[in-house]
Amino acid sequence: MSEAKLRETICLLARSMFDRGLTGGSTGNISARTADGGLLVSPTGTSFGRLDPGRLSRFDAAGTLIDGDRPTKEMPLHSAFYDTRASTGAVVHLHSAHSVALSMMPDVDEDNFLPALTPYAIMKLGRVKLLPFFLPGDPAMGEAVRGLAGKRSAVMLANHGPVVAGKDVEAACNAVEELEDTAKLAMLTRGLRPRGLTDQQVADVVTRFDVEWDQ
């Protein structure tokens, strides 16, 4: 994909998520790897609904900002995924309401944040790690991701929002939307004893779709 097309795609997907209420105001950030090994990143303080392709922060392959506006303060989160997972081509972070609500529940599994309600979150995300609360912009968030040693493609920041890495920007956006949809299902059915997938069904999904799971 050309850089011009990638810029347009980032802004199109971000606008779509904003329009559907997946992240509001000036929240959320998104980045994608360019063909030359650099990065395009949403600027700080910008709205997903109004990103300008020509003003995206542009980093070269050495990590130096060479063009565009000042990048998101959550760059340590993005860099941690790119540095620890060679397959990462894009990272997206939202403040999506249902996933944040689920992160506040006292009985969620920190090592496997999403309940196994459908096969799709398993297929797109594997196990999601719930990380503790950090102040926004705290570099410690990136260090927490680095501490996972590349073993997770998605994390949930408690009381904050999900962060997902994908092979490209469309895959990352699809995966973070699946995370939010599954969290929504979990909140809608909370206390109703829903029939989720059995351990064997989860294992079948993991095997059939070659999911990174037992890590």
Residue 82: active-site member = no
Residue 8: active-site member = no
Q: Over the stretch 193-215, which tens digit does the pLDDT of each residue have?
A: 999 999 999 999 999 999 998 76
With beta carbons less than 8 A apart as the criterion, state whether 165 and 179 touch: no
163 phi and psi, to 5 degrees? -130, 125
What is the predicted pLDDT for the residue at 215? Answer: 63
CA distances from 206 to 122, 124, 181, 203 (A): 7, 10, 19, 5
Q: For residues 184 and 99, give the distance between their C-alpha atoms in angstroms, rounded to a whole number.
A: 7
What is the predicted pLDDT for the residue at 64? Answer: 96
What is the predicted pLDDT for the residue at 165? Answer: 98
Q: Over the stretch 154-163, which tens digit does the pLDDT of each residue have?
A: 999 999 999 9
Ordered domains of the chain (ranges, CATH): 3-208 (3.40.225.10)
pTM (whole model) above 0.85:
yes
What is the predicted pLDDT for the residue at 65? Answer: 96
What is the predicted pLDDT for the residue at 214? Answer: 73
Q: What is the DSSP letter of 16?
A: H
Average pLDDT rounded to a whole number, residues 18-45: 97
What is the predicted pLDDT for the residue at 66? Answer: 96
74, 177, 178, 180: which is the annotated catalytic residue?
74
Q: What is the rounded average pLDDT for all residues in the chain?
A: 97
3, 120, 170, 212: which is the annotated catalytic residue?
120
Contacts of 207 (CB under 8 A, 6+ apart): none
Cβ contacts of 203-208, under 8 Å, gap ≥ 24? 205/119, 205/122, 205/123, 206/122
Average pLDDT rounded to a whole number, residues 71-92: 96
